[in-house]
Amino acid sequence: MGASDDIGGIMLKSCRALLAALSLSLAVAAPAYAQEKTGAKPGFSLMPGTARIVLMRPSIRVGAQSTGGMYEPNADWTDQARENIAAALAKAQTGLGNSVVAYAEPLGADGAKVAEYRELFGAVASSVIEYQFFKGNRLPTKKRKDQFEWGLGPDVRALPGLDTADYALFITTEDHFGSTGRKVLQVFAAMARIPVAAGVHKGFAGLVDLRTGDLVWLNADMQMGGDVRDAEGADKRVRQLLEGFPGKPVEASVVSAPAIAASPAIASAH
């Protein structure tokens, strides 16, 4: 009997703790959803038909996510995604308002340098998300009015073939598809309104001014829509990546950006 009292007491405590956690998480969850997804250098604008943009080969990684959240790369999925995204970009790049040409990747040491710049772009975009777009975590030196000071440095222009272009467009996608265990954890966490992500679906698209190395426009989100393993999903991902691209003629179909980004399942059904 004593034991059952204990159990009752613990259950009650657990419920109270759960309620407390619920209200707390509700209170703290709000700012996370207020996160920005796009940024541009103040004063930057691009008129259609005025610039030559080089599209760098996208950095694409696809794998699985274990219950504990560990990433396990998957070569087949990555190959599929590379093909699909390349096809989607080929379709999209003609509608961007300016001349967009695919970069002819150099071989050897220069090729390694290009790969390093691709990774540097990924690190910069991640930093923008963490320390500028996420207001609650913004760096005090990045808080000043209308500030967007990020870049890859002026030496990016020294990469072979970039000296005759105006801008370089960098694209990074990284997808970790949640395992069944991860999804179960997500369901339990969702009951308590804790945002445990099943899967990671990073997408960054950034335009770099080749005269200065400054990042002049960035579209970046850790939870993008579109399953890059199939053609339709890759089209959707590329649409989201290039949403609001500077100098792009306005599209009637892209209206409610945040809603699409937040609910990929609904958007892909259409």
Alpha helices in the chain (DSSP H): 2-33, 75-92, 108-128, 180-191, 231-241, 257-262, 264-269
Nearest to another protein of 14, 50 (CB atom): 14
Residues 105/57, Cβ–Cβ less than 8 Å = yes
- Say which DSSP state 72 is in: E
Nearest to another protein of 17, 259 (CB atom): 17
Q: How many CA atoms lie within 13 A of 73 on its CB side?
A: 5
**Separation of alpha carbons 245 and 240, rounded Å:** 10
Residues in contact with another protein, counted by CB under 8 A, come to a total of: 46
Q: By CB under 8 A, name the one of 192, 258, 259, 263 that touches another protein.
A: 192
| Contacting range for another protein; rule: CB under 8 A; set: 75-83, 86-94, 108-116, 225-233 | 108-116
Shortest distance, CB of residue 184 to another protein, whole angstroms?
Answer: 11
**Which string of x and - marks every residue 120-139 that binds another protein (by CB under 8 A)?**
x--xx-xx--xx----xxxx
Residues 3 to 22 in contact with another protein, rule: CB under 8 A: 7, 10-11, 14, 17-18, 20-22
| Contacting range for another protein; rule: CB under 8 A; set: 102-110, 190-198, 214-222, 249-257 | 190-198
Residue 189 has a CB neighbour count (10 Å cut-off) of 15
| Contacting range for another protein; rule: CB under 8 A; set: 46-54, 87-95, 103-111, 116-124 | 116-124
User: At 15, is the secondary structure helix, strand, or coil?
Assistant: helix
**Which string of x and - marks every residue 136-155 that binds another protein (by CB under 8 A)?**
xxxxxxx-------xxxx-x
Token pair for residue 5?
């009292």
184 scored as a contact of another protein (CB under 8 A): no
- Comparing C-alpha atoms, which of 47, 70, 39 is closest to residue 206? 39
